[in-house]
Structure formats: C-alpha cells, structure tokens
Amino acid sequence: MITHDPNPLYLADPKRYERMPYKRCGKSGLRLPRLSLGQWQNFGAVDSLANARQMMHRAFDLGINHFDLANNYGPNYGSAESTFGQVMSEGLNRYRDELIISSKAGYDMWPGPYGIGGSRKYLVASCDQSLKRCGVEYFDIFYSHCFDPETPLEETMGALDYIVRSGRALYAGISSYTPEQTREAAAILKSLGTPLLIHQPRYNLFDRWIEDGLTDVLDDEGVGAIVFSPLAQGMLTNKYLGGVPANSRAARGDQIYLKESDITQERVEKIRALNAIAEKRGQSLAQMALAWVLHNKTVTSAIIGASRVEQIEDSVAALDALEFSDQEIAAIDALVK
C-alpha cells in the first residue's frame, strides 16, 4: 500500500546547519543555537498564520532549531502554541527530533486560584494543555515562568521534577528568578535528580541586571542562560533614532513593558551613540545589540522576536561579527553601564 505524505509542501534547507553556531547549555549535553525564535509576539490568533508559518520555516532553514513558547503567549492566551501546533502539523513535525521546543507556565492563564502561580496543580495541568495545543508528545524544556512567593519553592521545583520524570519534558528551566532564588532552585532540583538546565532572564544593553550576581550563580551551578528581549522590545534598533514613530510598539501603548514614556530624549541620545558604534563595526544597531548579549560568556542563546522574515535574516547576519575590541566594550559601557 502506498502512503502519501499529507504535508508535502515544506522541505527544510539541507544546508541549515552550515552557518548557525551552537553552544553547549551549561554543563549539560544539550547544545542550543546562538539565536532562538521566540513566539511571544506575532504568533497569536490575531496575527497572520501564513506569516507565522513563513517565519518558522525560514528560521529553521537558517539553523534556528529552538522555538520558545509559553502558555499565555498570544493574544489570545494559548493561541501562539496553537499556531505553532498548526505549523508543525503541516510538515515541520517531520523534523521533530531536530527541534528544541520549550514552553512555560507561571503567569495568569485561566480564572481561579489554580490558573496562575507555581503550584504543582497549575504547572502540571498547564503543561498538559500546552502539549495538546502544540501537538507534541513532550517538550524539550519546560519552565517555571516566574517565581511564586506564595508557593514553597520545593513544590514548584518538585512539579518540574515530576514533569520531567513523567516524560512531559526532557529538561527543566526557570525564568526571571533572582540569584538567590536561582541558587536555591538549582539545589532543590539537584537533590531530586533533575538538574536545572537553563535560566531565561531579560538582558540587553539597557537592562544588565543579570551581571549583578546571576551570571556568577549560573556559572557556579553549571546552568545555561537564554536571554529574552535582547533588543529591548525594539528600542535597540533604528526605529527610535528619531524619537517615537507613530506605528511603533511604544506609540501603540498596548504593550506590557515598552511605553512611550520609556523613550526619553536621554534614551534617544544613547541609542544614537550606540548606533554610531554599530556603524563603525559594519553592523546595524540591532545586530550589534544581539552580538553584545552573546558576547557574555554565560549566555548560551538569545531569543529573537520577529514580525517578518527579513528581521530573522537580519538577526542571523549579526552572527558574522560577534567579537568586540576592548575599545568598543569601553565605549559601550561608558554609555549604558
């Protein structure tokens, strides 16, 4: 009997691994691409499925084999995972064993006391729902998306341990934990026999908090780091060189973090000065900003966002110049440290 492939449209570029560098995640055996594709924005139910498909395919063709999700990415909540599952079902799933797929739970997801936080009930239920939406049998990484001060850390880490031991995920991660919380979480997971693989913090030229203790903890514990918002939600691009354009995130006023009030005249002047350094390096400001976060030895990968294929291609071009001279680092530090 001849069986026909129901999804014959997408075949990955056979040269997809020739350009992308990969780095070992902490002391684990897992290597991640230096750039990962995040689906926080532009992959929800309100966005174009065709565009999402094109971006995922192009990212994988360029060697980006890590896709970063969370239960509440959208809008609406859960819809980014559903979009991901749709694209997987259309042909990308034939490459499942080449992909690193991650999701998270911690922030508000559904009504009531069990739809938010770090409880075992919420994390396990959310993981099961996310697996169904994504159409996969397991996640490669599942994260506690944020620290929950109302739940004992032993319970949250115990839930991650259970998720791994039950086959729902291969590795455990945490996001946005302080250095002290990270060290404690790592110790608990180590005692349970499920090492902490990775931490996902916010990190960019304008937000360097991880340098104040977190990177030391990660190095000591052998934990990798994958950073989000490396472009400060678009501030570290050429978009804001002249102030706040009408079609920008900051001008729309509907974003969780970036607001028009963040784009002060002082900030614009720093953006322009950073852009001048980038131009001397032969890079765009966005490319230099990505190269800069990857220059930190603790950083395994940086999560990029995109609204179109060209932005992914531009980000990958940043990998052509990852080294910085001492003079460049000093000039950048003088502006933003």
Query: Could you tell me if residue 326 is inside a domain?
Result: no
- Angstrom distance (rounded) from CA 130 to CA 78: 7
Query: Could you tell me if residue 259 is inside a domain?
Result: no
The predicted-structure confidence for 58-82, as pLDDT tens digits, reads as follows 999 999 999 999 999 999 999 999 9
Confidence of residue 6 (pLDDT cuts 50, 70, 90): very low
The phi, psi pair for 102, rounded to 5°, reads -125, 150
Query: Could you tell me if residue 112 is inside a domain?
Result: yes
**Residue among 40, 14, 206 at smallest CA distance from 95:** 14
Query: Could you tell me if residue 288 is inside a domain?
Result: no
- Angstrom distance (rounded) from CA 119 to CA 115: 9
pLDDT value of position 2: 36
Q: Which residues pair with 144 in a beta bridge?
A: 105, 174
pLDDT value of position 250: 55
Kindly state the percentage of the chain with pLDDT values over 70. Answer: 92
The predicted-structure confidence for 77-95, as pLDDT tens digits, reads as follows 999 999 999 999 999 999 9
The predicted-structure confidence for 217-268, as pLDDT tens digits, reads as follows 999 999 999 999 999 999 999 987 876 665 655 555 555 566 666 778 899 9
Query: Could you tell me if residue 249 is inside a domain?
Result: no
Secondary structure of 121-139 as H, E, C letters: HHHHHHHHHHHHHHCCCCE
Mean pLDDT of 319-330: 98
- Angstrom distance (rounded) from CA 33 to CA 16: 11
Cα angle: 181, vertex 184, 187; to 5 degrees: 150
- 28-42, 191-205, 243-257, 280-294: segment of lowest average pLDDT: 243-257
Query: Could you tell me if residue 12 is inside a domain?
Result: no
* Res 180 pLDDT > 50: yes
Q: Which range of residues forms the domain containing residue 95? A: 26-238+296-307
* Three-state DSSP class for residue 299: strand
Mean pLDDT of 200-205: 98
- Angstrom distance (rounded) from CA 144 to CA 137: 19
pLDDT value of position 5: 42
What mean pLDDT value characterizes the chain?
93
Query: Could you tell me if residue 35 is inside a domain?
Result: yes
CB 241 within 8 A of CB 284: no
* Res 7 pLDDT > 90: no
Query: Could you tell me if residue 269 is inside a domain?
Result: no
CATH of the domain at 34: 3.20.20.100
- This prediction has a pTM of 0.93
Mean pLDDT of 199-227: 98
Confidence of residue 291 (pLDDT cuts 50, 70, 90): very high
pLDDT value of position 241: 82
Number of independent structural domains in the chain: 1
**Radius of gyration, CA atoms only, the chain:** 20
* Res 105 pLDDT > 70: yes
CB 202 within 8 A of CB 172: no
Q: How many other CB atoms sit within 10 Å of the CB of residue 36? A: 23
